[in-house]
Amino acid sequence: MPKMKKRALKGSRRRSAFVAMLPIQGTACTADRIGLPAQLEVAHPDDPFRTRPHAAAETAAGPTTVTHRLRDRRSGGATSISHISFDVWNTLVTANPSHATMRTKFLATCFDTEEAAVRNAYAEVKKWVNQHAIETGYAPSLSENIRLLMMRCNVQKDPGLIAMAFEHVFENCKPVVLDTTVRLVHSLADDGFTLSIGSNSSFISGTTMHNFLESTFGCVFRFGIYSDLLGYAKPNEAFFNKIIKSCGVAADNILHVGDDAICDLQGARSSGMRGALVGRSEDIQEAVYDAV
């Protein structure tokens, strides 16, 4: 993989922090509002926070045993956790099995190359971006990631058009979200925990993902921090410090839940936060309970 130019990384660091923050401020939150500069403000920690019922949560049977136990622990003063930050992939959601196939077919047609070559190139670039985040703490933007992919495939296209196509593929092959995860998240919000998103992102923009999460879970996440918009990536301490600053509470009162031992667990603990590791998205309830 070619080395990322330092100038590009510096440019990433200069990306305005508020662009990475997609806060929910208790007002009616709709997908079309996310991404508008007037809405991208850091909510004051004392702002009122309300949640919007989600259809799946309204029709589902009552909370699980795990959330009953969480409520008992919180009401009894057994936990000091007041805010929970969630990773996205393999934590709140899992990939749609059709997504990779549709993306590969599009890229093979667009780049006029074999599907196997595109598939391998995509895997190599994604692996490099992930390793780059661990080693340096910095995150390329979506456009920079697409340019890396085109360099690997030796083609020149408009990165903006590729990004739009990726969003189209995402919309047609949306991630899988378990009903139990939706119920858990809403139960946590109802029990008084404030919630947020802290996710590394490469080929799906943070804006696109946050819109999806909002349409799926409702306005339960106070804010979202995404590496492609922030310029920093987990496990960089700067990424987790952004979560801490945005919460307005002490680091040891924040729990970060994710599936990666280095990026999520080690990164959170190095910043003074607490961490919970999810082996599978199905295990998120027990992971949260055990950590809280």
Look at residue 212 in the predicted model and tell me its pLDDT. Answer: 98
Report the number of secondary-structure helices (H) and strands (E) in the chain.
Answer: 14, 5
135 pLDDT above the threshold of 50 = yes
Look at residue 209 in the predicted model and tell me its pLDDT. Answer: 97
Look at residue 40 in the predicted model and tell me its pLDDT. Answer: 27
Look at residue 78 in the predicted model and tell me its pLDDT. Answer: 58
Between 10 and 185, the more confident residue is: 185
Percent of the chain exceeding pLDDT 90 equals 71
Domains of the chain plus CATH, in order, are 18-95+176-291 (3.40.50.1000), 96-172 (1.10.150)
Whether 200 contacts 233, CB under 8 Å: yes
Q: Which residues contact 277 (CB under 8 A, 6 or more apart)?
A: 258, 259, 261, 264, 265, 287
Look at residue 259 in the predicted model and tell me its pLDDT. Answer: 97
Mean pLDDT over 12-22 rounds to 39
Residue written as token pair 């909002």? 214
Listed residue (278, 266, 280) closest to 234, CA to CA: 266
Residue 56 burial class via C-beta count within 10 angstroms: exposed 0-12, middle 13-18, buried 19 and up: middle
260 pLDDT above the threshold of 50 = yes
Listed residue (179, 183, 194, 182) closest to 74, CA to CA: 194
Look at residue 31 in the predicted model and tell me its pLDDT. Answer: 31
Whether 271 contacts 232, CB under 8 Å: no
Q: What is the reported pTM?
A: 0.78
Look at residue 68 in the predicted model and tell me its pLDDT. Answer: 58
Q: What angle do CA 207, 212, 214 make, to 5 degrees?
A: 95
The tens digit of pLDDT for each residue in 203-251 reads: 999 999 999 999 999 999 999 999 999 999 999 999 999 999 999 999 9
Conformation bin of residue 54: beta by default, left when phi > 0, alpha when psi is -120 to 50:
beta
The tens digit of pLDDT for each residue in 148-170 reads: 999 999 999 999 999 999 999 99
What separation in angstroms does the CA of 58 have from each of 61, 173, 213? 8, 25, 17
Listed residue (206, 179, 210, 205) closest to 24, CA to CA: 210
Which SS3 state, helix, strand or coil, does residue 197 take? Answer: strand
What separation in angstroms does the CA of 288 have from each of 50, 94, 217, 236, 255? 22, 18, 17, 22, 8
Mean pLDDT over 79-84 rounds to 91
* Cis peptide bond N-terminal to 63, omega within 30: no
What separation in angstroms does the CA of 38 have from each of 35, 147, 203, 211? 9, 30, 25, 16
Quote the CA–CA distance of 88 and 94 in Å, as a whole number: 8
Look at residue 77 in the predicted model and tell me its pLDDT. Answer: 56
Quote the CA–CA distance of 197 and 84 in Å, as a whole number: 9
Poorest-pLDDT segment among 36-40, 73-77, 158-162, 193-197: 36-40
38 pLDDT above the threshold of 90 = no
21 pLDDT above the threshold of 60 = no
The tens digit of pLDDT for each residue in 175-212 reads: 999 999 999 999 999 999 999 999 999 999 999 999 99
Percent of the chain exceeding pLDDT 70 equals 73
Mean pLDDT over 68-92 rounds to 79
Q: How confident is the model at residue 69 (pLDDT cuts 50, 70, 90)?
A: low
Between 80 and 45, the more confident residue is: 80
